[in-house]
Structure formats: C-alpha cells, structure tokens
C-alpha cells in the first residue's frame, strides 16, 4: 500500500471573508467574552472585550485605516509581542482587505528593513520599546530608509518595562489613539462598501518563514486558507462558544493568529492572552484565573510548565483540551499533559506556515498510543503523501520519506518569489514540506524530523527524534535535543544536548551506559552538552543550527 491519504472530502468549507465570518459570529454571541488580556501586574485589571465590543473596536480601527487611504491589497505590518491590539489589527486589516504582515518581534533593524522592502509595506504598527527591543528607533530607521512606508503607528504602553512608547516626531508618525480618532472621518457605510469588494480567495496575510537558508520568504495566505484552517481545527477539537482558549503562543506566528484567534473566534469562544511573552507561570495563572478550557504550546512550553516547583498548586480543573505543535512532541510530555494537566482531549497538530498551517492532527477518539506517538491523520479536504526525496515516487507505507501536502490550505505562494514558490509547490499542487515522515497502515503519520536535521554517521541515517525519545526516559533528563557534529572519520557524530532536572547529575559515561545494549552502537551519543537552556526562535523552535555551530567552535571540530 502506498503512503497516500486524503482527509474527509465531504466536509464543507466556509466561503466567506474573515471579516464577514467575524461579524456573523459576533452578531450571534454579542455578550460572550471574545478577548481577555491578563493584567501585566498581579492584582491589576485584566482588559476584556465581549464580541460586540471587539467588533466595534475592530470597525473603528478599520474605518481609521480607510480614512488614511489604506487600499485593498496594501501591506500593513504589525511588529509586536502579543497584546489585544494585535487581534484588533488582525480583524481590522481583514475587514478593509489590507494584507496583514506579521513581523517577528525578535527581528532587529536589518530583518525589519528586509521585510518592509520585500513586500513594499505602507504602514507599520510597532510596539513600544522595552528593555529587550528598541522597536521605536528601529521602526524609525525603516521609515527613513524605505520609501513605500508612509505611516508608523505606535501601540499604547501602560505595561511593565516600557522604556519608550513612541511620541510622534513627524507627520508620518501616529500613536494608536490618534490613528483611532481618524475613524471619525469615515462612516460605517464606507466600510460596508469595502467589505463587499473583498473575495475570500484574496491574499490577506503575509507570514515570513525563516526558511532553511538565506532570507525569509513571505508565505502569502488568503482568507480562505487561514479562516478555514482555523475553523477545521476547532471542529476537530470540539470547540463551542463555551470554550476559553489560553494562548501563550506568539500571534506573529500561525500558532497564535490562526490555530488560536481565527479558530476560537469562528466559534464564539474566548481567546485569552496570558502576557506579552511566554512564562510558564503566567500561562497556568491565565488558565486558573479565566477558566481556560484549552491551552496551547510548543513542547518546550509544556515542559517548562510541568517543571514549575509549584506546579501542583495551580487549579487546572477547567482544562479539557489544547494543542501541542510546532516541533516534535515527546511522547512522555504528551502523556504527562494528559494525566497531570487535565488536558484529556489534547491534540498534536502538525503543519507549516505554508499550509495555513495545520495539515494533520490527532483526535480525542484516537488511541492513547496514536495520540502520543503520531501527528494523527490528514485533515478534511487535504491530502498527504510520503515520497522518496530523490525520485519523488510515493513510497510504501512504513518507509521514511518527505511528507507532501495538497489542498485548500496550501498558500498562494511566496510573495514576489515565483522561483521559490515553484521549488516548494510542484506542478500538481503538492507542497514539499522538507520534513521526514512515515505513514502507517491506518494513515497515521509519524514525523521523524527535518530533512536537514537528519544525521548521517558512517553511512547510517540517524533520526535524532528516536534518540531524543529514548533519552527522555532517563530520570535525570528534563529536556534533550540531539544534533550531528562534524567528524573526520564518520562524517558526523552525535551530540546529546541536555537540560537536567534540578539537582540531577549526568555525565557522558553515565549517558552512554544508559544507552548501551538498548540502542545500536552508532546511535549512542559521542558527546554530551549539559546546558541551562536551548537557543530558541520566538515561535518556540529549538535552533539546532546554533547549537551545532557552538559545538563546532567549543570542541574545535
Ligand atoms: P513553521 O512554518 O514555523 O510553522 O514550521 C513548520 C515546521 O515545524 C514543520 O515543517 C515541522 O518541521 C515542524 N513541526 C510543526 N509541527 C510539528 C509536529 N507536531 N511535530 C513535528 N514537527 C512539527
């Protein structure tokens, strides 16, 4: 049997724009909570929006954008950690048909300028500067240097650690409050007229993905792509208007703005922002304080939550479900999330920015083993296949190859990069993911890691995931990543990078002893690197490349 599956082809998709969908849901559930942002200081006031209020605020901002002359298809960027204004921007730009450009809050001036130029961005909404990021000066540099950029808007402060909230210094600069005042110049009918001009198949969002090499590429996504992907995920999670979804994952990434916002807000559920950035305590506090029924995170976030010294003191009894995604989800962590966090229906989602993002997920009705050891089966209205990376032929079930995805969720293309688009999406519409996977006889898919992370030692292919899963079982190990480092004899050798549990000890000899007799000799790490943390991207992916470079420098390889 070949490694090909199609998800349910009869499930209907929404044929409406993001703005129309939101208005429809808001009219149905006007008084329910739509958005809650936890107070930045303990004991402070949370900020709350009902659906009615959120829709009003979205409309006000949308009219302000019209007043400034923002046209359908204009690129409007947002460069900020999570906050309520991010959500309001997401829906306001969608209502006026402006393409929202998610700018990674970790970007610095060089990357910001690249993104602003690459898509000819006309307006940038930037966060106030804090101790980590001088958003205000970097945004000003971009405004001075990139001629398409006409307006710079500074988001409000009123939070901890704000150093510079951005006082307008020229006509091109506005505070968010000033921007909102412009709404007085445009009536609701103008907004209605604009919304009537939009088509669900128009591009509405640009998300830059780091890519494997070179400059980031802008995955161009339509209303139809991301609204439907969010909505399909929610259906499979069993979301209703009674759900309250806690989002410690970043909005600039599809995990926050699609799997989180577009999903929850298409069901009348509440979205809850625990804070600007992730801390394990704020995520669990948000569940406790706001009755979260669903909690999201990349695996390292759940690992950090479970490792809190006072973990047992949080009341997580309202939780039912959630999503773990973004990188390989260790079996042990899934098991603990189900057993210890009350997330009995938690799903693993798999996908990538270019596929809106989710293409496979586990269901609560799958067996515990399927839910912890696989990324589930193909989502409705999508197809998956596993191909030989060299010949592109579909491989037999059980054989490892490159995973490919086809269907409504595949992006429109990389912005202004037709050659890169053609490299990623073939003539038959298959998105080549760059991930190694195998499909079992029932269509469940197991991700074996990125093609580029595969280690080849003395001609043997080693999939780091297998060894990571094994080492998680060691009682001293809190978190582990396995990488390949250069070796003159074998080409590559394995290094285990390990974060130990508090007070635990482990050295290379102990680690090798643990593996001996249980793993083939070539899979036993040659090096161990005990560390306090892993270098991470903002979206929670471990930067194995950085660890490899560090190891090469430190060991003089
Ligand atoms: P991004 O475009 O930032 O969402 O990254 C997509 C990549 O993250 C995929 O190509 C995978 O390598 C990885 N990824 C996402 N979800 C999972 C998952 N559940 N298991 C393993 N890898 C994942």
How sure is the predictor about 8, in pLDDT bands with cuts at 50, 70 and 90? Answer: very high
Give me the chain's average pLDDT, please: 95
Burial class (CB in 10 A: 0-12, 13-18, 19+), 214: exposed
> How many A from CA of 193 to the centre of ligand 1?
39
Smallest Cα–Cα separation from 93: which of 17, 14, 8?
17
Counting ligand 1 atoms within 8 A of each CB, the residue from 253, 326, 402 with the most, and so the one to mutate, is 326
Q: Whose CA is nearest to atom 15 of ligand 1?
A: 326
The pLDDT of residue 214 is 59
Counting ligand 1 atoms within 8 A of each CB, the residue from 325, 347, 436, 438 with the most, and so the one to mutate, is 325
Pairing mode of beta strands 162-164, 129-130: antiparallel
Whole-number CA gyration radius for the chain: 23
Q: Is 256 in the pocket of ligand 1 (CB under 6 A)?
A: no
Helix runs in 252-306, H state only: 254, 263-264, 280-290, 299-306
Q: Which atom of ligand 1 is nearest to the CA of 349?
A: 19
Q: Over range 179-187, report the average pLDDT.
A: 98
Domains identified in the chain and CATH numbers = 4-10+223-450 (3.40.50.12780), 48-189 (3.40.50.980), 454-555 (3.30.300.30)
How sure is the predictor about 213, in pLDDT bands with cuts at 50, 70 and 90? Answer: very low
DSSP state of 177: H
Smallest Cα–Cα separation from 280: which of 247, 253, 248, 313?
248
Q: Cα–Cα distance between 270 and 260 in angstroms, integer?
A: 10
Q: Cα–Cα distance between 441 and 202 in angstroms, integer?
A: 38
Residues β-bridged to residue 484:
494
The pLDDT of residue 26 is 98
Q: Which atom of ligand 1 is nearest to the CA of 324?
A: 19
> How many A from CA of 437 to the centre of ligand 1?
12
Q: Cα–Cα distance between 275 and 301 in angstroms, integer?
A: 14
Q: Whose CA is nearest to atom 22 of ligand 1?
A: 327
Q: Is 227 in the pocket of ligand 1 (CB under 6 A)?
A: no
CA dihedral angle for residue 363, residue 364, residue 367, residue 371, rounded to 10 degrees = 60
Q: Is 359 in the pocket of ligand 1 (CB under 6 A)?
A: no
> How many A from CA of 509 to the centre of ligand 1?
33
How sure is the predictor about 86, in pLDDT bands with cuts at 50, 70 and 90? Answer: very high
Q: Is 481 in the pocket of ligand 1 (CB under 6 A)?
A: no
Smallest Cα–Cα separation from 538: which of 174, 117, 216, 97?
216
Q: Cα–Cα distance between 468 and 496 in angstroms, integer?
A: 8
How sure is the predictor about 165, in pLDDT bands with cuts at 50, 70 and 90? Answer: confident
Instruction: Count Cα atoms within 13 angstroms, Cβ side, for 373.
Output: 10
The pLDDT of residue 158 is 65
Counting ligand 1 atoms within 8 A of each CB, the residue from 370, 447, 538 with the most, and so the one to mutate, is 447
How sure is the predictor about 395, in pLDDT bands with cuts at 50, 70 and 90? Answer: very high
Tell me the DSSP string of 182-240. GGGGS-HHHHHHHHHH--TTSEEEEEEE--SSSS-EEEEEEHHHHHHHHHHHHHHHT--
Q: Is 102 in the pocket of ligand 1 (CB under 6 A)?
A: no
Answer whether residue 310 shows pLDDT above 80: yes
Which of the listed ranges 193-202, 384-393, 531-540 does the model predict with the highest average pLDDT? 193-202
Q: Over range 230-257, report the average pLDDT.
A: 98
DSSP state of 127: P
150-164, 392-406, 511-525, range with the lowest pLDDT = 150-164
**C-beta of residue 265 within 8 angstroms of C-beta of residue 34:** yes
Q: Over range 204-225, report the average pLDDT.
A: 86
Residues β-bridged to residue 273:
37
Smallest Cα–Cα separation from 37: which of 273, 246, 256?
273
Q: Which atom of ligand 1 is nearest to the CA of 354?
A: 2
> How many A from CA of 41 to the centre of ligand 1?
33
Q: How far is CA 444 from the centre of its chain?
A: 22
Residue percentage of the chain with pLDDT more than 90: 86
Answer whether residue 212 shows pLDDT above 70: no
How far apart are the two ends of the chain, measured CA to CA in Å? 44
> How many A from CA of 350 to the centre of ligand 1?
6
The pLDDT of residue 161 is 76
Q: Is the model's pTM score more than 0.85? A: yes
Strand ranges (E), 18-67: 33-37, 47-50
Q: Is 350 in the pocket of ligand 1 (CB under 6 A)?
A: yes
Smallest Cα–Cα separation from 444: which of 504, 545, 373, 346?
373
The pLDDT of residue 383 is 98
Q: Is 433 in the pocket of ligand 1 (CB under 6 A)?
A: yes
550: how many CB neighbours lie within 10 A of its CB?
Answer: 17
- Tell me the Ramachandran region of residue 523: left when phi exceeds 0, alpha when psi lies from -120 to 50, beta otherwise: alpha
Q: Whose CA is nearest to atom 6 of ligand 1?
A: 352
> How many A from CA of 451 to the centre of ligand 1?
12
Q: Cα–Cα distance between 368 and 346 in angstroms, integer?
A: 11
Q: Is 325 in the pocket of ligand 1 (CB under 6 A)?
A: yes
The pLDDT of residue 435 is 95
DSSP state of 536: B
Q: Cα–Cα distance between 374 and 356 in angstroms, integer?
A: 20
How sure is the predictor about 164, in pLDDT bands with cuts at 50, 70 and 90? Answer: confident
Q: Is 329 in the pocket of ligand 1 (CB under 6 A)?
A: yes
**C-beta of residue 83 within 8 angstroms of C-beta of residue 37:** yes
Residues β-bridged to residue 536:
542
Tell me the DSSP string of 231-276. HHHHHHHT--TT-EEE--S-TTSHIIIIIIIIHHTTTT-EEEE--S
Q: Cα–Cα distance between 150 and 86 in angstroms, integer?
A: 20
At 445-497, the pLDDT tens digits run 999 988 888 898 888 888 898 899 999 999 999 999 999 999 988 889 999 99
> How many A from CA of 351 to the centre of ligand 1?
5
Q: Is 465 in the pocket of ligand 1 (CB under 6 A)?
A: no
The pLDDT of residue 6 is 98
Q: What are phi and psi of 307, to 5 degrees?
A: -85, -5
The pLDDT of residue 289 is 97
> How many A from CA of 264 to the centre of ligand 1?
21
């Amino acid at each position: 049997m070949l490694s090909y599956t199609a998800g349910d082809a009869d499930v209907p998709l929404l044929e409406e724009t993001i703005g129309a969908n939101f208005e429809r849901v808001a009219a149905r559930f006007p008084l329910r909570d739509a958005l809650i942002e936890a107070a930045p200081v303990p004991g402070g006031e949370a900020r709350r929006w009902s659906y009615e209020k959120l829709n009003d605020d979205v409309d006000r901002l949308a009219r302000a954008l019209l007043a400034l002359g923002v046209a359908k298809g204009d690129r409007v960027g947002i460069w900020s950690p999570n906050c309520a204004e991010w959500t309001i921007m997401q829906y306001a730009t969608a209502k006026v048909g402006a393409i929202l450009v998610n700018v990674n809050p970790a970007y610095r001036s060089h990357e910001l300028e690249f993104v602003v130029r690459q898509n000819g961005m006309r307006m940038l909404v930037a966060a106030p500067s804090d101790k980590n990021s001088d958003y205000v000066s970097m945004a000003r540099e971009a405004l001075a240097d990139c001629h398409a950029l006409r307006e710079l808007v500074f988001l409000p402060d009123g939070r901890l650690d704000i150093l510079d909230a951005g006082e307008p210094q020229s006509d091109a600069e506005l505070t968010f409050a000033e921007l909102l005042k412009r709404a007085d110049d445009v009536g609701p009918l103008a907004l209605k007229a604009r919304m009537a001009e939009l088509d669900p198949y128009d591009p509405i969002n640009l998300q830059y993905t780091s890519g494997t090499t070179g400059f980031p590429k802008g995955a161009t996504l339509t209303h139809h792509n991301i609204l439907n992907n969010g909505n399909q995920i929610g259906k499979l999670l069993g979301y209703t208007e009674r759900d309250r979804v806690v989002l410690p994952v970043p909005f600039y990434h599809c995990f926050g703005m699609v799997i989180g916002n577009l999903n929850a807000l298409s069901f009348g559920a509440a979205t809850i922002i625990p804070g600007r950035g992730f801390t394990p305590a704020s995520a669990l506090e948000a569940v406790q304080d706001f009755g979260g029924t669903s909690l999201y995170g990349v695996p390292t976030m759940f690992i950090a939550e479970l490792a809190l010294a006072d973990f047992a003191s949080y009341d997580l009894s309202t939780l039912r479900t959630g999503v773990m995604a973004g990188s390989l989800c260790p079996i042990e962590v899934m098991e603990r999330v189900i057993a210890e966090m009350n997330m009995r229906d938690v799903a693993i989602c798999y996908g990538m920015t270019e596929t809106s993002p989710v293409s496979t997920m586990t269901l609560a009705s799958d067996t515990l083993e399927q839910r912890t050891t696989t990324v589930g089966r193909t989502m409705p209205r999508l197809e998956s296949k596993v191909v030989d990376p060299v010949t592109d032929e579909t491989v037999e079930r059980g054989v490892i190859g490159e995973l490919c995805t086809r269907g409504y969720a595949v992006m429109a293309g990389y912005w202004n990069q037709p050659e890169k688009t053609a490299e990623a999406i073939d003539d038959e519409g298959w998105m080549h993911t760059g991930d190694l996977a195998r499909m079992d006889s029932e269509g469940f898919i197991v991700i074996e890691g990125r093609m580029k992370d595969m280690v080849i030692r003395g001609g043997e292919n080693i999939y780091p995931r297998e060894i990571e899963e094994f080492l998680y079982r060691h009682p001293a190990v809190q978190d582990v990543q396995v990488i390949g480092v250069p070796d003159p004899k074998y080409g590559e050798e394995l290094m285990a990078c390990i974060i130990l549990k508090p007070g635990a000890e482990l050295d290379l000899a102990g680690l090798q002893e643990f593996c001996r007799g249980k793993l083939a000799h070539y899979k036993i790490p040659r090096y161990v690197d005990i560390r306090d943390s892993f270098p991470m991207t903002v979206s929670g992916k471990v930067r194995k490349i950085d660890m490899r470079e560090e190891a090469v420098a430190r060991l003089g390889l």
